[in-house]
Amino acid sequence: MTRLFNVGDKVVYPMYGAGIIEAIEEKEILGEKKCYYVMRMPIGDMKVMVPIQSVDEIGLRQVVDEEVINQVIGRLKLESTDQSTNWNRRYRANMDKMKSGDIYEIADVVRNLMLREREKGLSTGERKMLENAKTIFISELALAKDLTEEEAIALLDNIIYEKNASI
């Protein structure tokens, strides 16, 4: 069954990030009329149209609440989880986590890649993945805690780098 969101709801679009539903519109595209959520993504300042009947398939969900964000922040403070030394395997595992749309999984990708970048450096592909994962994570963090993009970035950097400063 399709979940119904309302104008003003804060939602997450897996692989794109969090945004706010600004409108619900009916559009005719390729001769077919469909209803769409029109989402404004504050980070990157873009608009996305999501077909309402595809919401479940896409995995659109509410932005998590403050309690969940605080649990995620606690998880960010943990040591990096074991990851394959094989770049390809590690990349695929991280991509699966990001596609899940689960904030805990995305936080793991962000933490692990930020720490790996500092310790060993990242390949171009993993650096792009880290930037994408950070954008997705920061967009939800900002909406959940009512922060600006800059405040959310600073909070993430403080959590990751302060906790692991002794490494």
Which architecture characterizes domain 66-163 according to CATH?
Up-down Bundle (1.20)
Beta carbons of 141 and 147 less than 8 angstroms apart: yes
Q: What is the pLDDT of residues 60-115, one digit of tens each?
A: 999 999 899 999 998 888 776 667 777 888 899 999 999 999 999 999 999 999 98
pLDDT for 164: 52
Q: What is the pLDDT of residues 30-55, one digit of tens each?
A: 899 999 999 999 887 889 999 999 99
Give the integer Cα–Cα distance in Å for 29 and 144: 33
What length is written for the chain? 167
Q: What CATH number does the domain located at 10-62 have?
A: 2.40.10.170
> Where are the domain boundaries for CATH 1.20.58.1290 in the chain?
66-163
pLDDT for 3: 56
> Where are the domain boundaries for CATH 2.40.10.170 in the chain?
10-62
Q: What is the pTM of this model?
A: 0.87
Packing angle between helix 103-119 and helix 124-145, nearest 10 degrees?
Answer: 130
Residue 12's SS3 state is strand
Say if residue 137's pLDDT is above 80: yes
Inter-CA distances, 141 with 5, 6, 10, 32, 146, Å: 20, 20, 11, 36, 8
Say if residue 160's pLDDT is above 90: no
